[in-house]
Copies of this chain bind each other. A is one copy, B any other.
Amino acid sequence: MLPKIVDGATRLLGIVGDPVAQVRSPPLWSALFRYNNINAICVPFHVHPPDFSRFVDGLRMARNVLGLFVTIPHKLAAARYADALTPRARRVGTANLLRPLPDGGWEGDMLDGFGFVAALRAKDQRIEGRHAIVVGAGGVGSAIAFALAEAGVASVAIADIDTDRAEALSFRILRLARVKSLVSKAAAEGFDLIVNASPMGMREEDPSPVDLSGLAADAIVGDVVISRELTPLLRAARARGCHVQEGSEMTDHQGAAMAKFLGLETGDWSPAAIRAAMGE
């Protein structure tokens, strides 16, 4: 007999993206719910950008929806659409998670930066005093830049092929977090915390997002790209002796904060629980 995995009383946690076929959340969170004995499931919704607001407007009408993960390219739209935002989502201007408000509408949160920092701390990596460069000034790059500034780095530099976007993010960080920020080329030299927050590395044949010629062995190199094996960037960094952090570590360290935001009062949502639930 097949396992009875969903019934009429099952609650739903959605993930909306375009494309969405590649996302990890449905198997991961569905396994976590089962691990924690909660009758809920995570399901994908493939929604094109012009349809985003109409989709979330409708989904809000379903009373058994716990929340909605938001991924590329909807994170900016989600923050604009939300009726309320947590302070960190408001500051970054993007949201990667929506939860239904008791009286209607949605509240947005943005946990990518939190997860990135939490994953470094879980490995006892020092963040304070480092000179960071974040490559990619989009939603996830912005979230990480703000979170690093809050976590006490000495400086944050932003690099983006869209220099206007890099400059705009730099000024916002300067104003809010009082750290030295500058627009820079994507090169590791002079930095000891290097973050790829661009999509470069999703395909094996992508050029490196960062010039690693000046990479020091005591630098930390993190990547937001999620892949089965280490990305080429992280492989090169590990070869130099650097501490490397994978994209999945950033997401896995958001679990507990996400569960709390979604109002899940019981259960274990830690990276260890994720590994156990996924049978890894």
- Residue among A6, A15, A45, A55 facing the most chain B CB atoms (10 A cut-off): A6
Q: Is A102 an interface residue (CB 8 A)?
A: no
CB distance from A36 to the nearest CB of B (A): 12
Query: Which A47-78 residues sit within 8 Å CB-CB of chain B?
Result: 47-48, 51-52, 54-65
Q: Is A9 an interface residue (CB 8 A)?
A: yes
What's the dominant secondary structure at chain A's contact region? mixed
Q: Is A228 an interface residue (CB 8 A)?
A: no
Number of interface residues of A (CB under 8 A): 51
Q: Is A41 an interface residue (CB 8 A)?
A: yes
* B55–A54 CB distance below 8 A: no
- 20 new A-B pairs (CB below 8 Å) besides A5-B27, A58-B58? A1-B278, A2-B278, A5-B5, A6-B41, A6-B42, A6-B44, A8-B21, A8-B26, A12-B43, A16-B62, A44-B64, A45-B65, A46-B64, A48-B61, A51-B61, A54-B58, A55-B62, A56-B58, A58-B59, A58-B60
